[in-house]
Amino acid sequence: MNIWTGLVVALATAGVVLAGGAALGAEETKQLEIGAKGPAFSLPGVDGQNHALADYKDKKLVVVIFTCNHCPVATAYQDRIIAIQKDYADKGVQIVAINSNSTEAAPTDSFEHMKVRAKEKGYNFPYLRDESQEIANAYGALVTPHVFLLDQDRVLRYRGRIDDNWQEPGKVTTNDLRNALDALLAGKPVPAPVTTQVGCTIKWNK
């Protein structure tokens, strides 16, 4: 067994997978292609309001992140997502987090638990519930977290991970999402439009 195979097996055993084309052990899900229009959505948020993609028409860029409460990879990125929203808010960037997990498979991903988490962490972005999982399917989300960056025309320009080290923020060498944001804000193409995301598989309804 080579090092790469060993890593994949170890991550899968821990409930963590790599989402390059299809997540290990997950149902085949067609991911939204770069250059495709971002699917519209209108979902309830933990703030008691409904949030639609169209609500952010004044934003230059919208970052849709499929995430959740229970996954260790998702929780590891909470503070980094908050920091990205803070750093880019004045530049016209809006992050929208969506939790699509089945609460039967992951009870702590319920809407009530989402409200608690958002309050505890001080989320500075909408945290939405995709109960039907239609939006996760429309984007082709495979894991949590899974990033989809839409430009001003709401066309997908980046898909994948936030950075290259979910376990140790101090050892990150490539800030993929920040790099994509900086490129688009400067009117340049994203240097690496697709990256492989590590995370827990979306927990689909039966």
Give the pLDDT confidence of 59-74 residue by residue, as tens digits: 999 999 999 999 999 9
Q: What is the pLDDT of residue 194?
A: 98
Average pLDDT over residues 155-159: 98
Please state which of the ranges 23-27, 90-94, 113-117 shows the lowest mean pLDDT: 23-27
DSSP string, 117-155: HHHHHT--S-EEE-TT-HHHHHHT--EESEEEEE-TT-B
Distance between CA atoms of residues 73 and 108, nearest Å: 15
Q: What is the pLDDT of residue 175?
A: 98
Reference 196, options 8, 3, 1, 2; nearest CA is: 8
Q: What is the pLDDT of residue 75?
A: 97
AA identity, residue 55: D
Pick the CATH number of 3-201 from 3.40.50.11540, 3.60.20.10, 1.10.3720.10, 3.40.30.10: 3.40.30.10
